[in-house]
């Protein structure tokens, strides 16, 4: 099973983006997606953007992941 996480694009330099996931900054290859701009959300998997997603989908997924995290701490 593969897991991708929503990441917000901070900046873009050619085929690479700087993205934020929960406050942590990562580099993401943009080779598999198009029309990505700073402020957009992408699904990040193994250092690559695999899909552009809506803000609503990103927020919903991040909320679900935070909910799972809270169960882990119980």
- CATH code of the domain containing 66: 2.30.30.140
- Domain of 31 in residue numbering reads as 5-72
State pTM to two decimals: 0.89
* pLDDT for residue 73: 66
User: Would you state the pLDDT for residue 70?
Assistant: 79
* pLDDT score at 19: 98
User: What CA–CA distance (Å, rounded) separates 71 from 48?
Assistant: 28
Residue 21 has a pLDDT of 93
Number of domains in the chain: 1
Residue ranges of the chain whose pLDDT lies below 70: 1, 72-74
Query: What pLDDT is recorded for position 4?
Result: 93
Q: Are 43 and 6 in contact (CB under 8 A)?
A: yes
Q: What is the pLDDT of residue 71?
A: 77
């Amino acid at each position: 099973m593969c897991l991708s996480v929503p990441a917000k694009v901070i900046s873009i330099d050619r085929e690479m983006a700087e993205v934020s996931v929960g406050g942590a900054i990562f580099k993401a290859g943009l080779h598999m997606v198009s029309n990505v701009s700073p402020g957009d959300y992408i699904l990040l998997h193994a250092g690559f953007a695999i899909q552009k997603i809506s803000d609503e989908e990103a927020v919903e997924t991040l909320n679900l992941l935070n909910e799972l995290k809270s169960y882990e701490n119980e």
